[in-house]
Structure 1
Amino acid sequence: MSQMLDFDDNAARALEAMYLTPDVVGQRAKVIEMLSPQPGEHVLDIGVGPGLLAYDLARMVGEGGRLVGLDAAPAMLKVARTRLAASPQAECMEGDAADLRFPDGAFDVAVSTQVHEYVADIDKAVTELHRVLKPGGRTLILDTDWRSIVWHSSDRTRMERVLACWDDHLADPHLPATLGARLRRAGFRVLRVEIVPMFSPQWQPVSYAAGIMKTIRGYAMANGERHGISRDEVQAWYDDQLRLAERGAFFFSVNRYAFLAVR
């Protein structure tokens, strides 16, 4: 059973900082390149988060278009609304990826990054995506398969236990492996699939790796006992990563997968 992250104000600020790292900035550039948003289009951003992708998309569709950002976390919506305040074509609202409260065919484009892996009923969510898109509309879904992780540690067994605990925060930590088939069953035609790596072959304090390391530490501190991991063990795992960084031996890589599909 998953134990989801609590996206409160502190988590929202931490996520925003992580999304501003060069790795995730590069991810947004890849998403925009694959989606190719056009002036005047209506775009749905599911899981708008701090609104960084939504901000770029709103500028690209222009005032003749529309951008709707959806999120389940009020703290995220607050950050996104602030970022989008000067864009009259953009609005943000609370909502559920598996229950999209929009008419059929309301959007030209729908995008979600690091969202559907949190959704318990993924098939319903994909069916909803298909419904709210116009015929010929396109969607891009990007999620991580945590089996792709390569993360150096001085204690491999402890690393595996910490990552097993981390898997619990997701409904499906391996969603990309089945996502293409799910999209096709829902009526989509998958046009393109790209790997988007989060890759740190050495320590960088401003990076996705550094940010996720802190996030995993906090989550495992709160939930590790369910996996028989004490808080002291979690701290030892974290301290080991800092020592590896000091010695020039840090290495982190995990793959995200972007699926572009058309209705």
Structure 2
Amino acid sequence: MSGALHFDDEASRRLEEAYTTDALVAQRRAVVELLALRPGERVLDVGVGPGLLAADLARQVGSAGRVCGVDTSDSMIALAGRRAAAEGSAPIELRRADAVALPYADATFDVGVTTQVLEYVADVPTALAELGRVLRPGGRVLVLDTDWDSVVWHSRDRARTERVLRAWEQHLADPHLPRRLLGHLERAGFEVEPVLVLPLLDVGYRPDAFSAGLLDLVAAFVGDRDGLTPADAEAWASDLRSLGREYFFSLNRYVFRGTRAG
């Protein structure tokens, strides 16, 4: 997609900062709990990003396990590669690869996980077929993605916020993917469990909160798109920052878990 967000060094650094905020630490903890990993399991993280989740997975499966992470961004791979492994963790193997062409043999992994990735992928059915291919029969999958219609971001100028968010959706291949994920997963051969939602919520402006970092990413992306100028984007961001105690942000992330049919 021509408008897609490219994770160069600066975008990758900003994303890593966002991933260390309280909201995303809690999201990562919830993902790990839902996976219920066992010592010695083999896990694939598709879209490994800065490697924070992969490091958590490596601790769960222990030194007898295996964790592999793939990403299309060299900057993300570099960040993940610099993350020190905790004592007793599985080694983390990193490769530059696309979700639609995973560089692994059939039935290599017990578990596959992909968080905030498939909404960037143009061919989701192929990506899920690939994930199913590299999982053993009975292997588990967890997919987490956002439907951007779920965002609530209070501002003094609602019309401008709507224009900004419409332009922001251009950074994704499918900003509303979760509403189609159940069908995609079932057609890829997964038996899907009940879907869960993980809300992100910031009430009152805090510069160290997840949405504050997202605010900067959005403003940097939408300038010169859909009639917006960089000045428009910064005016929007400044307005939200100035709300103080009246600042309000909410966004839903949807978790799909399934098992590869035998």
Please report the TM-score for the alignment, with normalisation by the length of structure 1: 0.95
Give the count of matched residue pairs.
258
1:23-34 matched pairs, under 5 angstroms: 23-34=23-34
Return 167-176 or 188-197, whichever deviates more.
188-197
2:68 counterpart SS class: strand
Aligned equivalents of 2:35, 2:182: Cα separation in 1: 17
Q: In the alignment, which residue of structure 1 is the partner of 2:248?
A: 251
1:196 to 195, 198, 204: 198
Give deviations 1:66-124, integer Å, cap 9, x for gaps. Answer: 00011110111111011145656211110001111211111000001100000000010
1:227 equivalent in alignment to 2:226: yes
Q: In the alignment, which residue of structure 1 is the partner of 2:186?
A: 184
Q: Quote the offset at 1:2 in angstroms.
A: 4.9
Q: In the alignment, which residue of structure 2 is the partner of 1:168?
A: 170
Quick one: structure 1 residues 150 and 88, their matched pair in 2 at CA, closer, same or farther if it must change by over 3 Å? closer
Q: Quote the offset at 1:244 in angstroms.
A: 1.1
Quick one: structure 1 residues 88 and 32, their matched pair in 2 at CA, closer, same or farther if it must change by over 3 Å? closer
AA at the equivalent of 1:178? R
Q: Quote the offset at 1:204 in angstroms.
A: 2.0
- Answer yes or no: is the 8 Å Cα contact 1:44–1:111 preserved in 2: yes
Identity of aligned residues (%): 50
1:210 equivalent in alignment to 2:216: no
- Answer yes or no: is the 8 Å Cα contact 1:42–1:109 preserved in 2: yes
CA RMSD, aligned part only? 1.2
Q: Quote the offset at 1:62 in angstroms.
A: 1.1
Misfit runs of 4+, over 4 Å: 84-88
- Answer yes or no: is the 8 Å Cα contact 2:73–2:96 preserved in 1: yes
1:143 equivalent in alignment to 2:166: no
Aligned equivalents of 2:33, 2:195: Cα separation in 1: 13
2:142 counterpart SS class: strand
Instruction: Give ranges in structure 1 of 5+ residues lacking alignment.
Output: none
Give deviations 1:139-192, integer Å, cap 9, x for gaps. Answer: 101011000011111111110110011000000000000001110111101113
